[in-house]
Amino acid sequence: MELNFILNGNRVKIDVSPDKRLIDILREDFQLTGTKEGCAEGECGACTVVINKKAIHSCLVHAITLEGKNILTIEGLEKNGDIDIIQKHFLEEIAVQCGYCTTGMIMSTKALLYKTLNPTEEEIKIALSGNICRCSGYVQILNAVKKSAREMRGEL
Give me the average pLDDT of each 10-residue run along the chain (156 residues): 98 98 98 96 97 98 98 97 97 93 97 98 97 90 98 95
Sign of CA dihedral 48, 22, 98, 92: negative
Cβ atoms within 10 Å of 46's Cβ, excluding its own: 24
Question: What CATH number should be reported for the domain holding residue 136?
Answer: 1.10.150.120
Per-residue pLDDT at 35: 97
CA pair distance 101, 154, nearest whole angstrom: 28
DSSP 39: S
Per-residue pLDDT at 156: 85
The dihedrals phi and psi of 82, each to the nearest 5 degrees, come to -105, 135
Residue 54 shares a structural domain with residue 118: no
At 50, the amino acid letter reads V
Q: Which domain holds residue 68?
A: 2-77
Residue 15 shares a structural domain with residue 43: yes
Last residue of a domain, one of 56, 77, 98: 77
97: left (phi over 0), alpha (psi -120 to 50) or beta: alpha
Last residue of a domain, one of 46, 77, 108: 77
Cα 83–chain centre separation: 14
Q: How many domains would you assign to the chain?
A: 2
Per-residue pLDDT at 61: 98
CA pair distance 52, 42, nearest whole angstrom: 18
Enter the pTM of the model: 0.96
Last residue of a domain, one of 45, 77, 109: 77
Per-residue pLDDT at 136: 82
Burial (Cβ within 10 Å: 0-12, 13-18, ≥19) of residue 156: exposed
Per-residue pLDDT at 88: 97
Residue 65 shares a structural domain with residue 115: no
Beta bridge partners of 34: none
Residue 72 shares a structural domain with residue 94: no
